[in-house]
């Protein structure tokens, strides 16, 4: 089963992808995470992407398609993928379709998480992750149970905020979402694989709604 999670920055794609991966034994492919890793490793791609990401603009299609192509080729014995933050343009969507076709796979569900713009700023500016295991937190809605300690791996004081999670960058990221990514909603609607989910609510509620919709169409 292959799933795309579609939605503006802060809609909860990463959080939901992590839970769904466990439930359905899928592999999460987040181009944002891959680019941040490339940046950390100071690779050529990372260096080129860093400034673009800081501003909240989109990295070119060829770069992100190349990253996804490598991961799909690595494939291995997986049940399928959850694409988180990819595709973000119609060009990327076409490329993904081709890549999956080459390996005899289909796209099963495109889950659109919709959230009011005003809520996104709240979500974005409060979120942080554990740099040891990647668990996602939020100051107001999901703080660690014990201050300074990761609930999952127990690492102490290893929380980090994203450089691009600020109001200025969010404005550009939202613009990019509505201009370049939202046309994908119509694209997948026409293919009859678009499932719309309200992205407001608790993590568990949203998870339940996603599972229901997947169950209904499988
Ligand atoms: P994300 O973690 O998905 O919010 O992505 C962080 C940043 O990485 C974005 O604001 C873009 O600059 C870049 N990025 C991630 N995925 C893509 C993509 N599929 N296409 C273009 N740029 C991307």
Q: Which of 39, 123, 173, 195 is catalytic?
A: 173
| pLDDT tens for each residue of 147-199 | 999 999 999 989 999 989 998 999 999 999 999 999 999 999 999 999 999 99
Phi-psi label, residue 52: left if phi above 0, alpha if psi -120 to 50, beta otherwise: alpha
Instruction: Inform me whether the pLDDT recorded for 115 exceeds 80.
Output: yes
The residue whose C-alpha atom lies closest to atom 8 belonging to ligand 1 is 32
* pLDDT score recorded for residue 177: 97
Q: Do residues 26 and 1 lie in contact, with contact meaning Cβ atoms separated by under 8 Å?
A: yes
Q: How confident is the model at residue 66 (pLDDT cuts 50, 70, 90)?
A: very high
Distances 169 to 35, 88, 165, 184 between C-alpha atoms, Å: 16, 17, 7, 22
C-alpha 108/C-alpha 149 separation (Å) is: 37
Is 173 designated active site?
yes
pTM for this predicted structure: 0.92
Q: How remote is the CA of residue 146 from the centroid of ligand 1, in Å?
A: 31
Q: Which of 30, 66, 85 to mutate to test the pocket of ligand 1 (most atoms within 8 A of CB)?
A: 85
Q: Which of 142, 162, 196, 211 is catalytic?
A: 162
Q: How remote is the CA of residue 65 from the centroid of ligand 1, in Å?
A: 12
* pLDDT score recorded for residue 196: 97
């Amino acid at each position: 089963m292959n799933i795309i999670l579609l939605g503006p920055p802060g809609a909860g794609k990463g959080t939901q992808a992590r839970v769904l991966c466990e439930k359905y034994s899928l592999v999460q492919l987040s181009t944002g995470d891959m680019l941040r890793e490339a940046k950390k490793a100071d690779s050529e791609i990372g260096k080129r992407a860093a400034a673009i990401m800081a501003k909240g603009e989109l990295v070119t299609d060829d770069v992100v398609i190349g990253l996804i192509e490598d991961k799909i080729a690595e494939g291995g014995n997986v049940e399928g993928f959850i694409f988180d933050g990819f595709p973000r343009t119609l060009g990327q969507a076409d490329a993904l379709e081709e890549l999956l076709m080459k390996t005899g796979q289909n796209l099963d569900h495109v889950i659109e998480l919709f959230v009011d713009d005003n809520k996104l700023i709240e979500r974005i500016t409060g979120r942080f992750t554990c740099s040891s295991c990647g668990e996602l937190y939020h100051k107001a809605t999901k703080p660690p149970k014990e201050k300074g300690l990761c609930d999952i791996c127990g690492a102490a004081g290893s929380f980090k905020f994203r450089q691009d999670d600020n109001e200025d960058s969010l404005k550009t990221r939202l613009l990019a979402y509505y201009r370049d990514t939202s046309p994908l909603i119509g694209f997948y609607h026409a293919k009859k694989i678009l499932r719309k989910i309200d992205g407001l609510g608790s993590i568990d509620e949203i998870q339940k709604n996603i599972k229901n919709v997947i169950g209904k169409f499988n």
